[in-house]
Amino acid sequence: MSGASTAAASLFTRHVLLPLVLLTVALLGGLRVRPDQSFLFLAPPLVTLVMAALLMALFARGGLILLERWVSGRQTALANVSHALTLLALFFASAQAFNSVLPERGLLHWVFALFFLWTLWNDQFAPFDPYRLIRSLCVLFGTAFVLKHMLLASLYSPRVGWGRRLMGALLEGASLGTLDVAVFAPATGYVSFFTLALYVGALALVRPAPDEDGDVRRLLGEYRRLSTPERAALREALGEEGERPVRSRLTS
């Protein structure tokens, strides 16, 4: 692929594909399908906005996003506005991802919320890199998805056998009726799974610096304008060990 094609693909991903995926997540995260197959859209609860704020802080701390590179005085006003809107879409997509796996009401709503908040707060003080952070989020959302859309949905579904309905009734009795689990159609679980898959895919598209590919191209351009002795001096300054990937890129 030529340099112009690579640059065009990078711009398309950054300004079109990534915001579109994030906005889709923000829309689907609040979608529920009632047993009569009608749609219900739920706004993100306030607690999910707090979770999203903690998660954005983790993104910045873990290096998934370098805020000083996304919005800075070195970029044009249009680029800063575009990047700021993308970050805002990431914030609301994060809130809706939590919304999709958070029970809608009752005691379990707060049990799940406290679990998320405790995990995100502890992670603020743990060492992170972008890949480990994404893996941790996959485990976190996967666990919540299984508990809500598979375990609880199977216990409270009106179509299950009497044994599971009895177990659900026992849970209600043990919790003094505070569980109050909302019942939705099985399609809600599929929507939630698709939403979480899109969200993780969007995180994979995010780059720490939106113009990092452009930085590499500018660096290579500056290198190629050097004279032969200056190139040799630069390669010597890089050292013989530890910089071979960089030097092999420069000499290609």
Q: Write down the H helix ranges in the chain.
A: 3-12, 18-28, 46-62, 67-70, 77-101, 106-123, 130-145, 153-156, 162-174, 187-205, 212-224, 228-238, 244-251
pLDDT, tens digit only, all 252 positions of the chain: 455 666 677 778 888 899 999 999 999 999 999 888 899 999 999 999 999 999 999 998 888 888 888 888 788 888 889 889 999 999 999 999 999 999 888 788 888 999 999 999 988 888 777 788 888 889 999 999 998 888 877 766 655 544 445 445 544 544 444 456 677 888 999 999 999 999 999 998 888 887 655 445 455 556 566 677 776 777 777 664 444 444 454 455
DSSP states of 36-59 as a string?
A: TS-EEE-PPPHHHHHHHHHHHHHH
β-bridge mates for residue 22, sequence order: none
pLDDT at residue 176, rounded to an integer: 41
Q: What are phi and psi of 173, to 5 degrees?
A: -65, -40
